[in-house]
Amino acid sequence: MRISPAPRTSASAPSEWITGYARIESLATPQGPSRTKVDSVRFAPGARTHWHRHPLGQVLVVTEGTGLVQRRGGEVETIRVGDTVRIEPGEWHWHGATPTSAMRHLAVEELPADGRTAERAEPVSDAEYHSVQSGEDEGQAPPLSRVIVMDQKLPEALATHRVEIRRITIAPGHAAGLHVHNGPVFGSIETGSAVYQLEGEPETVLEPGDVFYEPEGARVARFDAQDEGVTFLGYFLLPDGMNPDITFPDA
Ligand code: MN
């Protein structure tokens, strides 16, 4: 028995397989006589696989968000947390997020003994992707959408006179190190990903579309760019006459 503690490392999904942005955590690979492959795949809003098929089929289990799936000749269907999808051997299909919601699923696949892997075809066009027939709105391209991604109370009324927004890029593999800001900071990830941890709290992995909040004076233990680096917008709430400042305590 071997336990792999979370968070696991993840990798960007290969662009020849994906429209948009997705990350893959490999949870199980064929080993010994086992031919089972399990991945946790997280699609950013708008991201989806190309059309493809699996030699022995595939089972998807939605674990976060809302997604879409379609088999060749069928309608685009909405899938939600807890839903499972069984894809038949050789059945052409695609799966991904909705235009406005990220989606994570487990992808469980048995690989054939001859080593064949999934076969890829053309990308899912925007017309196909936006062609939900079910009458539900998740798959339509909305002319306007307003999704609340964070609703954060502040510890006290803040005399904010100015908000400075910075685009911050951290090189692949670089760790920001323990740091403290002189005011509250909000952020949203644009590209790449980072392992994020406030001191004393669990680590999480921030990915495109994720937002975060660092309270004034909070000790940020980790903001470590993963393999492709990370770019995010940081929103610094500032009282009159103050500029953003960052300190790096020794420990
Ligand atoms: Mn598939």
Q: Tokens 């976060």 identify what position?
A: 64
Band (pLDDT 50/70/90 cuts) for residue 197 is very high
Domains and CATH numbers, the chain: 10-139 (2.60.120.10), 162-247 (2.60.120.10)
CA of 44 to the centre of ligand 1 (A): 17
The secondary structure of residue 207, as a DSSP letter, is -
Q: What is the pLDDT of residues 208-220, one digit of tens each?
A: 889 999 999 899 9
Determine phi and psi for 128, rounding to 5 degrees: -65, -45
Residue 130 structure tokens = 């936006």
| Mean local confidence (pLDDT), 83-95 | 97
- Which pLDDT score is estimated for 92? 97
Band (pLDDT 50/70/90 cuts) for residue 194 is very high
What is this structure's pTM? 0.68
CA of 152 to the centre of ligand 1 (A): 37
| Mean local confidence (pLDDT), 169-188 | 94
Q: How many helices (H) and strands (E) does the chain have?
A: 1, 19
Rounded-to-integer distance, Cα 168 and Cα 232, Å: 5
CA of 61 to the centre of ligand 1 (A): 11
Contact 48, 97 (CB under 8 A): yes
User: Is the confidence at residue 15, as pLDDT, over 90?
Assistant: no
HSE-up (13 A, CA, CB side) for residue 152: 14
CA of 70 to the centre of ligand 1 (A): 10
Rounded-to-integer distance, Cα 48 and Cα 20, Å: 7
CA of 123 to the centre of ligand 1 (A): 13
CA of 190 to the centre of ligand 1 (A): 26
Band (pLDDT 50/70/90 cuts) for residue 104 is very high
Distance of CA 74 to the CA centre of its chain: 27
Environment of ion ligand 1 (residues, CB < 5 A): 58
